[in-house]
Structure 1
Amino acid sequence: MTQQELKSIIQKHYSYIFEEALIDEIASVAVTKKFKEGDILIEIGNTIFKMPLLLEGAIKILREAPDQGELFLYFLEKGDTCAMSMACCMGKTKSEIRAVAETDGLVLMLPVEKMEEWLGKYKSWRSFVFDSYTNRMKEMLNAIDTLAFMNMNERLIKHLNEKAKVNQTNIMQITHQEIADELNTSRVVISRLLKVLEDEGKIKLNRNIIELL
């Protein structure tokens, strides 16, 4: 991909946010990376030297507790960046999250030294970074509220609705075990609750396929 082609893609997604000079700089230093559903883009314990800026697709952000499996935190969608990986970049610390591709997609990788430079140089970049932190913090608080105040049945239907939204389809190809892993519970619990939701007319179950009604 040429620099001009990359600039055109960035303009398509960010011309309403970033000024032309910043778009030119992003296009000159960014590296594009295509990914497939299920790819691990950031692993726990990794040192992060580049910040992801999502152009296409969706990514799920997971937290891992020792001996307790994974816990889903939030989705990144087109136009988003991950505030937690951003903080790791800026603080030069190791990642405490795992980023897994929910769908196929395309991401821009931006070098950390440019992130710091642009904070002082471009008002639009400062606003984008601070808005990203704010949005991710709201999603983190929402995840905490979900854990603290919702029962598993409510958590399950909420999670299915979120997956349908980022995948842009009400028909999802996913196993009961995969859902259980994302919600940090057992497959038996998820299978039982899915059957309840089907009996209530909220979903339709087929082999490894769930359709929201």
Structure 2
Amino acid sequence: MKIHDIVAANFSDVFEENLRTEICNNGILKFVEPDKIILDVRTDIEFIPLIVSGIVKVKRRDGKGNGIFLHYLAEKQTSAIAITYAIESKKSEIRLKTESNVTYIAIPAKVVISWLLKYSTWRTFYFKFNQQQTAFLIEKINDIAFENLEFRLLKYLEYTSLITNDNTINKKHFDIARDLKVSREAISRILEKLKKQDIVNLGRNKITIN
């Protein structure tokens, strides 16, 4: 499909016609395989991804190998955090990495910023995800500060299942541990406990929520 067809099919109910035309004229349609970095830390934000299909993981990284999972981006979404960095002319402090095959439209950051003044639907779009993604950050801080690891792990599994629309989560224990910033042994121990409680079933590199 051409970009005009994709924008019409996916964003006619979100953006006005003039804005959709600008998306087509300024955006570049990209198709990316799983496990690819769309935006990395310590880089200038040259474009903003508008997700058409697939799932993108957002992580906070310090550039020294340390990071923690924040949330996912799915279809008809964008990273409000990345837009905010671009508005403030800051380098990225997050990593956007594909979890599946992803189709997205790469739009120059300067163009995206100009839309905040020109189009009310874009302002609404940005503020919606800015509020939502800020709420994710606050919730993440609360969970780390006040909730035990079993609660955090279950919440992570349920959220991933909801985003992927699949009760089976294809992840290694190591990858989950890295997302939650804990040891692999701790994740494996809790998963075995949840298995005994018949909350999950465990397979090779996969977890099924009952």
TM range (shorter): over 0.9
1: CA distance, partners of 2:137 / 2:41: 17
1:10 aligns with 2:7: yes
1:34 aligns with 2:31: yes
Percent identity, aligned pairs only, is 29
Call closer, same or farther: CA 1:199–1:13 in 2, change over 3 Å: same
Q: Report the Cα distance in structure 2 between the residues aligned to 1:163 and 1:67, rounded to whole angstroms.
A: 26
Counterpart for residue 111 of structure 1? 108
Are residues 1:169 and 2:166 paired? yes
Q: Please, which runs of 5 or more residues in structure 1 have no aligned partner? A: none
Deviation, structure 1 residue 66: 7.1
Q: Is the 8 A contact 1:119 1:125 kept in 2?
A: yes
**Shift in CA distance, 67/8, structure 1 to aligned 2, threshold 3 Å:** closer
Alpha-carbon deviation of 1:145? Answer: 1.6
Q: Residue 67 of structure 1: CA displacement?
A: 6.2
Tell me, in whole angstroms, the C-alpha distance in 2 between the residues paired with 1:97 and 1:17.
Answer: 26
Counterpart position of 1:55: 52
> For 2:41 and 2:63, how far apart are their aligned partners in 1?
12
Q: CA RMSD in A?
A: 1.5
Q: Displacement, 1:120?
A: 1.8
Letter in 1 for 2:184: R
Q: Secondary structure at the match of 1:133?
A: helix
The residue aligned with 2:126 is: 129
What does residue 195 of structure 2 align with? 198
Number of equivalent positions: 210
4+ long deviations beyond 4 Å: 65-68
2:77 to 73, 80, 84: 80
Which whole-Å CA distance do the structure 1 matches of 2:108 and 2:63 have between them? 31
Q: 1:97-146, CA deviations, whole angstroms, 9 ceiling, x for partnerless residues? A: 11111211111111122112222221111111121211111111111122
Contact 2:42 2:63 in 1 (8 A): no
Q: Normalising by structure 1, what TM-score?
A: 0.93
Superposed displacement of residue 38, structure 1: 1.1
- Give TM-score scaled by structure 2 length: 0.94
Q: Which amino acid aligns with 2:29?
A: T
After superposing the two structures, state which structure 1 stretch, 11-20 or 150-159, moved more.
11-20
Tell me the secondary structure at the aligned position of residue 32 of structure 1: strand
